Amino acid sequence: MGIKTNLVLGGSGTIGSALCNHLEKKGEKVVNLDLKTGFDIRFHSLEPFKKVDYVWFLAWEVGGAKFLTKDSNLINIIHNNTILCEKVFSFLNDTHIPFMFTSSQLATTETPYGITKLLGEKWTQILNGQTVRFWNVYGWEEPGERSHVIPDLILQALTKKSIYLMTNGQEERQFIYMDDCVENMVLVRNNNIKKTDITTGIWISIEKIAQIIGKALNVPVILGENKGYFKAVDPIYINPNCQYETTIEQGIFKIIENAKLYLNKLNN
C-alpha cells in the first residue's frame, strides 16, 4: 500500500501499543498521539500531521464493564467521545487521508458508549473509511477503573489467592488476544476491507475464564449470585481471511507472566 507513516491516535493503550509495536516491526514509521504521552486530541491541533499516509483512530473514552456502567462516567463518555469525533473526522474530511475507526460489538443505542461508537461508524461510512469492531480484546494492563476482566481476575488470584466473581459467571463473551487483534487490523487495512468484526466467533463464559485462571494458579473460584450482563449478538461482518492463533489458555498464560512481573516490580 506504500504506507510510510502511520498516525496512531490512542497508541499508548493496550491495543494501541500492540499496534504501534507491530507496525514498527513491519518496518513502518509510527507517530503515536495519546493523552498518556501529553497529547490531548480534543484540544491540540492535528494540522502538523496532515502528510501522514494512514490514520488509526483508537482514541476513545473507554474501559472495562465497571467503567462503562458507572453512572458518574456516563456524561464524560458522551462528552469526550463526541468531541473526539468532531475533531478527528473533521481532520480526516479535510485531508482525505485513508483511515480506520475502531468500533465495538457494543455499538448499539442501549448505552452512551454504544451510541458514540455508532456515531463514529456512521461518520466513517460517510468518509469512506474502514471500520473494525472489537469483541473483548484482552492483554496485560495495569489495574484500575478502566482495566478489564481477565487481567483483573489474574491479579485477584495472585494477590488474594482466590477468585471471587461478583456475578454467577454465566454471562458469555468472545475474547481475542491483542496480538491477534492487531495482526488482523493490518490485514483489514491492506485489503481495503470496509467493515469487519475482529472476533473468533467463539463464546465463553466468565465462569469458564475464571476456572482456567484458577486452575493455572491453583486457587479456588467463588461464584456470586447476581446475573451478569449478556446479550447474545453474533458478529455480522466476518472476514474469512482473519486468523486467530492464540488460544484463550495461551493468552491467559502470557498475562499471568506479565502480572507476576508487575507485582514483583511493585514489591521491590
How does pLDDT run along the chain (268 residues), one tens digit per residue?
567 899 999 999 889 999 999 999 999 999 999 988 899 999 999 999 999 999 999 998 766 565 556 667 678 888 888 999 999 999 999 999 999 999 988 777 778 888 899 999 999 999 999 999 998 999 999 887 767 899 999 999 999 999 999 899 999 999 999 999 999 999 999 999 999 999 999 999 999 999 999 999 999 999 998 887 767 678 888 888 999 999 999 999 999 999 999 999 988 8
Q: What is the structure's pLDDT at 108?
A: 75
Domain boundaries, the chain: 1-134, 137-177+199-235+246-268
Angle in degrees, CA 189, 82, 94, rounded to 5 = 55
Q: Provide the Cα torsion 246, 165, 111, 71; round to 10°.
A: -130
Residues 116 and 101: their CA atoms lie apart, in Å, by 12
Q: What is the structure's pLDDT at 112?
A: 83
Chain centroid to Cα 244, Å, comes to 16
Q: What is the structure's pLDDT at 65?
A: 60
Q: What is the structure's pLDDT at 229?
A: 72
CATH topology classification for 137-177+199-235+246-268: UDP-galactose 4-epimerase; domain 1 (3.90.25)
Stated pTM of the model: 0.90
Listed in sequence order, the residues at least 6 apart from 59 whose beta carbon sits closer than 8 Å to its beta carbon are 9, 10, 33, 34, 35, 41, 84, 88
- Beta carbons of 148 and 138 less than 8 angstroms apart: yes
Q: Phi and psi at residue 5, in whole multiples of 5°?
A: -130, 125
Q: What is the structure's pLDDT at 80?
A: 87
- Beta carbons of 105 and 135 less than 8 angstroms apart: yes
Q: What is the structure's pLDDT at 257?
A: 97
Q: What is the structure's pLDDT at 143?
A: 83
Residue owning grid cell 486457587: 219
Homologous superfamily assigned to 1-134: NAD(P)-binding Rossmann-like Domain (3.40.50.720)
